[in-house]
Chains A and B, each alone.
Chain A
Amino acid sequence: MPHFLDFEKPVAELESKIEELRRMSEPDGINIAEEVAKLTEKADRQLRATFAKLTPWQKAQVARHPERPKALDYIAGLITDFTPLAGDRAFADDAAVVGGMGRFHGRSVVVLGTEKGTDTESRVKHNFGMARPEGYRKARRLIELAGRFGLPVLSFVDTSGAFPGIEAEARGQAEAIARSIEACLEAPVPLVATVIGEGGSGGAIALAAGDRVLMLEHAIYSVISPEGCATILWRDAAQAPLAAEALRLTADDLIRLRLVDDVIAEPLGGAHRDRDATLHAVSEAVRSALTPLLSLDGPALKARRREKYLAMGREALI
Chain B
Amino acid sequence: MSWLTEYVRPKIRTLFTRREVPENLWQQCPACEQMIFHTDLAKNLKVCPHCGHHLRASAQERLAWTFDENAYTRIELPKVPVDPLKFRDSKRYTDRLKEARETTHLDDAILVAHGTIAGARAVVAVMAFDFMAGSMGAAVGEGLVAAARLAVLQDAPLIVFTASGGARMQEGAVSLMQMPRTIIATRLVKEAGLPFIVVLTDPTTGGVTASFAMLGDLLIAEPGALIGFAGARVIEQTVREKLPEGFQRAEYLHEHGILDMVVKRTELRDMLARVIDLLRVKDREAA
Residues of A in contact with B (beta carbons under 8 Å apart): 162-166, 168-175, 177-179, 181-182, 184-186, 201-202, 205, 209, 221-224, 228-229, 232-234, 242-243, 246-249, 253-254, 257, 259, 306, 309-310, 312-318
Contact = CB atoms under 8 A, between A and B. Distances in A.
5 contacts: A172-B214, A182-B187, A224-B169, A257-B85, A313-B178
Given A173-B210, A222-B172, A248-B172, A312 B235 contact: no
A318 B172 CA distance: 13
Given A166-B243, A224-B167, A317-B81, A185 B183 contact: yes
B80 interface: yes
Given A205-B179, A222-B173, A259-B177, A169 B228 contact: yes
A170 B94 CA distance: 37
A312 B229 contact: no
A313 B168 CA distance: 13
Given A178-B211, A185-B184, A313-B178, A169 B172 contact: no
B238 A171 contact: no
Interface in B226-256: 228-231, 234-235, 238-239, 241, 243-244, 247-248, 252, 256
B258 A175 contact: yes
A24 to B, nearest CB: 48
Interface of B: 78, 80-81, 84-90, 137-138, 141-142, 145, 167, 169, 171-181, 183-184, 186-187, 206-207, 209-215, 228-231, 234-235, 238-239, 241, 243-244, 247-248, 252, 256-258
A164 B180 contact: no
Contacts of A174: 209-210, 213-214, 228-229
Nearest to B178: A313
Contacts of A306: 184, 187
A118 to B, nearest CB: 22
Given A165-B238, A229-B169, A246-B89, A185 B187 contact: yes
Nearest to A178: B214
A242 to B, nearest CB: 8
A135 to B, nearest CB: 13
A29 B129 CA distance: 74
Nearest to A203: B210
A177 B206 CA distance: 11
Contacts of A175: 210, 214-215, 258
B45 to A, nearest CB: 27
Contacts of A257: 84-85, 172-174
B228 A171 contact: no
**For the complex of A and B, 8 pairs with smallest distance between CB atoms:** A164-B230, A313-B138, A174-B209, A317-B84, A233-B89, A175-B214, A174-B229, A177-B210
A168 B243 CA distance: 13
A254 B173 contact: yes
Given A166-B239, A178-B211, A232-B169, A318 B84 contact: yes
Nearest to A202: B210
Contact of B177 (A162, A234, A313): A313
Given A166-B243, A309-B177, A223 B142 contact: no
B91 to A, nearest CB: 9
Nearest to A162: B229
A179 B252 CA distance: 21
A221 B184 CA distance: 21
A164 B173 contact: no
A246 B238 contact: no
A162 B235 CA distance: 11
A315 B142 CA distance: 11
Contacts of B137: 313
Contacts of B84: 257, 313, 317-318
Interface centre among A202, A247, A313 (most CB of B within 10 A): A313
Given A223-B207, A309-B177, A233 B145 contact: no
Contacts of B258: 172, 175
A247 B172 contact: yes
